[in-house]
Amino acid sequence: MGLLNALDNPINADGIILGKVEDLFNWGRAKSNWFLQFGLACCAIEFMAVNASHFDLMRFGNIPRSSPRQADYIVISGTVTLKMAERIKILFEQIPEPRYAISMGSCANSGGPYWQHGYNVLKGIDRVIPIDVYIPGCPPRPEAFEQAVLKLQEKISMEEIFKKRERVAQEDKMLESMLKAEENNFIENVNKHI
């Protein structure tokens, strides 16, 4: 990653590295992603394999956590029934911001083999929670999961933490003025009909 490569740069001599605080934060966040221990169906077996010694997910800085309150992301690995969708939403919302989600396999992406006749299956987890990385396949190979982890790291390392706060503040202001305008319109309409 950039931080370690910078040590080889002769301009940044004597261990001094010039950079943005935002990059440093993002580097730390991207390389220490903790995930919630959670699995749903057959895809979860592949997810377990990624965590075993052969694929060694921890070398990417991904550590399993038993509580959503200590996790950074959740992996939706398997068929999502309508009954389970509600629980997944609760678990996702218990992860502190900024939080992320990976959708693993066709079932989680779109309902998979249950698309047409699975009356009890949700047709895509993104109908319930926002997804950052989708992994295709039925089931996807562990290597595909590792690729998704790298994609998530890439996404996190490019995030604009400080500008995001400004943007959210601007969006809040816009929303407030829109609600105010809507309220005024409503009062005007009511007054017209009195």
Q: Which of 27, 36, 73, 78 binds ligand SF4 (CB under 6 A)?
A: 78
Q: Give least dist CB 99 to ligand SF4, A.
A: 23
Q: Give the Cβ contact number of residue 85 at 10 Å.
A: 16
> Taking contact as CB under 6 A, which single stretch among the options 10-18, 22-30, 41-49, 64-72 is the one that binds ligand SF4?
41-49
Q: Are the C-beta atoms of residues 35 and 68 closer than 8 Å to each other?
A: no
Q: Which of 28, 98, 113, 130 binds ligand SF4 (CB under 6 A)?
A: 113
Strand bridging mode 73-77 / 63-65: unpaired
Phi and psi, residue 140, nearest 5°: -70, 150
Over the window 1 to 40, marking each residue x when it contacts ligand SF4 by CB under 6 A and - when it does not, the resulting string is ----------------------------------------
Q: Measured between alpha carbons, how far is 98 from 92 in angstroms, rounded to an integer? A: 11
Of 42 and 144, CB closest to ligand SF4: 42
Q: Give least dist CB 166 to ligand SF4, A.
A: 40
CA distances 182 to 9, 177, 187, Å, are: 56, 9, 9
Q: Which two tokens stand for residue 74?
A: 């959740």
Q: Measured between alpha carbons, how far is 157 from 91 in angstroms, rounded to an integer? A: 24
Show the DSSP H helices in the chain as ranges.
Answer: 2-6, 21-30, 42-51, 82-94, 106-110, 142-157, 161-192
Q: Does 121 bind ligand SF4 (CB under 6 A)?
A: no
> Taking contact as CB under 6 A, which single stretch among the options 47-55, 100-108, 144-152, 184-192 is the one that binds ligand SF4?
100-108
> Taking contact as CB under 6 A, which single stretch among the options 26-34, 58-66, 105-113, 148-156 is the one that binds ligand SF4?
105-113
Footprint of ligand SF4 (CB under 6 A): 41-43, 78-79, 105-107, 112-113, 138-139
